Structure 1
Amino acid sequence: MTRVDFFFNVSDKVFHVADLSSRAVQRGRRLMILTSTQQSAEQLGDFLWSNPPTGFLPHCHATHPRAAETPVIIDWRHDQLPHDDILINLDNQHPPFFSRFRRLIEVVGLEEADRAAARERYRFYRDRGYEIKTFDANGAAL
């Protein structure tokens, strides 16, 4: 069953995703980062070109010819998923395909609209029997 983790009270979602991605790639994991739009996927991709400042996170879109061997996939589309290791959801809806992944990470910012959408996703996963772990942005489990 998919492991579901919620990271709440995140002041900078893009930076937090970059940090989570860097740590996962260092451990040999592969990530699919789902955004809500092409523009947000491209903005995140631009950020990852220079962050972390002392490293590089190889990434591309799901339709790129090297997607199968690239550790970080950033995309807004649901139709081509090159792996099923870790999914980071930055969309306001639950991904319909999340259960094929080993781990789902939800990143929740400080804005009330983001928090309200996250509460809906939390209920969706909980009502389907998924065990959910929650973490404060400071690293303390809630």
Structure 2
Amino acid sequence: MPRIEFYVLSSTDAEGRLRAACQLALKAWSAGLPVFVRGSDEVQCGKLDELLWTFKAERFVPHDLHHEAPLSPVVLGIDEVPSAEQGVLINLGSSLSPHVERFSRIIEIVNQQPELLDACRENFRTYRQRGYDPQRVEL
């Protein structure tokens, strides 16, 4: 059963969610885990792709969009089936991934935007209804 954590940011800044996703992807990849970052749409995946090149000048995070290289250490996608199992899912979408069971760890990144808060609360409830024990982590 995957470990599920909701990382809660104190701001409403959408860019802050993307930066947090990049930092968490770097940390998981550095620990040797495959990472799938699930964006809300192709535009957000494109922003993540660019940000992963620039957010840490001294570190390179090997990444690709799923349709370009699904076996990259860090994969950016939406609802594609991840090629690697038992890795980390960083979910920036507003709903649960259809592939929850393929991951050993799931991180949902929440900020204080009202619509996102509502969606993430619903995700939290859904995880509990499915028998998971999601945890809240304040950032």
Cα 1:79–1:21 shift into 2, 3 Å: closer
TM-score (norm 1): 0.89
Instruction: Specify every segment of 5 or more residues in structure 1 that has no aligned partner in the other structure, as ranges.
Output: 138-142
| Partners of 1:108 and 1:118 within 8 A in 2 | yes
Cα 1:67–1:79 shift into 2, 3 Å: closer
Instruction: Specify every segment of 5 or more residues in structure 2 that has no aligned partner in the other structure, as ranges.
Output: none
The count of residues paired between Structure 1 and Structure 2 equals 134
Question: Could you tell me how far 1:56 is from its partner in structure 2?
Answer: 1.1
The reply to whether residue 129 of structure 1 matches residue 120 of structure 2 is no
TM-score (norm 2): 0.90
AA aligned to 1:81 is P
> Partner of 2:38 in structure 1?
34
AA aligned to 2:7 is F
- Give, in whole Å, the separation in 2 of the partners of 1:2 and 1:128: 12
Question: Mapping of 1:69-80 within 5 angstroms?
Answer: 70-76=72-78, 78-80=79-81
> Partner of 2:53 in structure 1?
49
Question: Mapping of 1:1-142 within 5 angstroms?
Answer: 1-11=1-11, 12-64=16-68, 66-68=69-71, 70-76=72-78, 78-84=79-85, 85-137=87-139
- Give, in whole Å, the separation in 1 of the partners of 2:98 and 2:117: 20
